[in-house]
Amino acid sequence: MKGYLIKRLLSTIPVLIGVVSLVFLLIHLIPGDPVELMLGETARAVDKLSLRHELGLDKPLLKQYLDFISGLAHGNLGYSLHTDQPVFQIITQRLPATIELSLAAMVIALLICFPLGIASAMKQSSLINNGSMVLALLGISIPNFWLGPMLIILFAVKLDWLPVGGRGGLAHIILPAITLGTAMAAILTRMIRSSLIEVSQEDYITAARAKGFSRLHVYVKHALRNALLPVVTILGLQLGSLLAGSIITETIFAWPGIGRLTITAINSRDYPLVQGCILVIALGYVFINLLTDVTYAWIDPRIKYMEKHG
């Protein structure tokens, strides 16, 4: 396992370099002059020159890139143009809120998808199966920017059961977590169902049934673990997408995380802060993909064997 992990870490290095390089080039690839985009075309020339010098945009591109890498290695992502605070400090203050919301959404998705997916696979022609598939279809089809306001209107405004927004106790996280986790639960339910149906045709499942185990025992104890590999793939991708999806959800529920911070930085044209937020979200995807690979090897040891002898 140690050798497999080291190999995966080494293979992640080129990806990290590519992500950092793309984030750096972002400001140079957008149309127009980034300084004019921040200050407006009517800004004075002296203000433009001052901001260009402050951002280091008056240096050669290679020197800017090396300075960016050097600053990143020291945890320096620059300073916010509006608050004059270090970008790294602002992001670290907001990151726990996004992680909290993403984990809560994932927990809700897992609590929904596993019971529904297993029940649908066990009773493929039943009302439970048809109902879960309809719910899965609705979950995939309904966008966050519609579901979030509908939940607010129903549970916060009309029923007055939960707060409208903000971050506080458990009550504050329920609605945004449901909004984020619904689509994830729908996709995972369908994946668990199809994986279990495929695995249930294997000989070892037939042998387990022949030993007299109950149908639920066979599916949970024997079929589920072998059906988890494609589910983990989707789970890893969906968990990464929660970081991007949280931009909309955090804005709707006034949740003080990275997503809402990104929107605020874009609206205020705070380039260093936008760059830092995008970098954190992109690196989050890379880390989650690495975590998914390691989980593969834990679930199915054959992967490590094939990597070693392939």
State the helix-helix crossing angle for 271-299 and 302-309, rounded to 10 degrees.
100
Same domain, residue pair 7 and 144: no
Q: Which amino acid, residue 135?
A: L
- Whether 90 is in a domain gets the answer no
Same domain, residue pair 257 and 174: yes
Residue 305 pLDDT > 50: no
pLDDT in tens, 241-279: 776 667 888 889 989 988 889 888 888 778 888 888 888
- Whether 38 is in a domain gets the answer yes
Tell me how long the chain is. Answer: 310
Lowest mean pLDDT among 129-138, 227-236, 254-263, 299-308: 299-308
Instruction: State the average pLDDT over residues 158-168.
Output: 87
Q: Kindly tell me the sign of the dihedral angle through the C-alpha atoms of 259, 263, 268, 270.
A: positive
Same domain, residue pair 124 and 206: yes
DSSP 8-state symbol, 179: H
**Share of the chain residues as helix, strand and coil, in percent rounded to the nearest 5:** 80, 0, 20
**pLDDT on residue 131:** 79
Instruction: State the average pLDDT over residues 8-35.
Output: 78
Same domain, residue pair 18 and 31: yes
- Whether 238 is in a domain gets the answer yes
The number of folded domains in the chain is 2
**pLDDT on residue 183:** 83
Confidence label for 308 from pLDDT (cuts 50, 70 and 90): low
Query: Distance between CA atoms of 239 and 234, rounded to whole angstroms?
Result: 8
Query: Distance between CA atoms of 83 and 235, rounded to whole angstroms?
Result: 37
Residue 189 pLDDT > 60: yes
Q: Which amino acid, residue 239?
A: L
Same domain, residue pair 249 and 287: no
Same domain, residue pair 102 and 199: yes
Same domain, residue pair 212 and 120: yes
| CATH number of the domain that residue 195 is part of | 1.10.3720.10
Instruction: State the average pLDDT over residues 203-214.
Output: 76
**C-alpha torsion 210→211→214→215, nearest 10:** -40
**pLDDT on residue 176:** 92
Q: Partners of 86 in the beta sheet?
A: 79
Token representation of residue 107: 């927990």
Same domain, residue pair 150 and 170: yes
Residues whose CB falls within 8 Å of the CB of residue 93, separated by 6 or more in sequence, listed in order: none
- Whether 132 is in a domain gets the answer yes
User: Whole-prediction pTM value?
Assistant: 0.80
Same domain, residue pair 113 and 237: yes
Domain span at residue 41 reads 1-75+268-310
Residue 21 pLDDT > 80: yes
- Whether 240 is in a domain gets the answer yes
Same domain, residue pair 258 and 309: no
DSSP 8-state symbol, 181: H
Same domain, residue pair 151 and 294: no
Same domain, residue pair 126 and 272: no
Confidence label for 165 from pLDDT (cuts 50, 70 and 90): confident
pLDDT in tens, 81-136: 788 889 999 999 998 998 899 889 989 988 988 888 888 887 777 777 777 778 77
Q: Which amino acid, residue 223?
A: A
Query: Distance between CA atoms of 200 and 211, rounded to whole angstroms?
Result: 15
Query: Distance between CA atoms of 80 and 55, rounded to whole angstroms?
Result: 10
- Whether 255 is in a domain gets the answer yes
**pLDDT on residue 244:** 64
3-state SS, residue 142: coil
- Answer with the residue of higher pLDDT: 139 or 157: 157
- Whether 118 is in a domain gets the answer yes
Residue 31 pLDDT > 80: no
- Answer with the residue of higher pLDDT: 274 or 7: 274
| Residues above pLDDT 70, as percent of the chain | 89
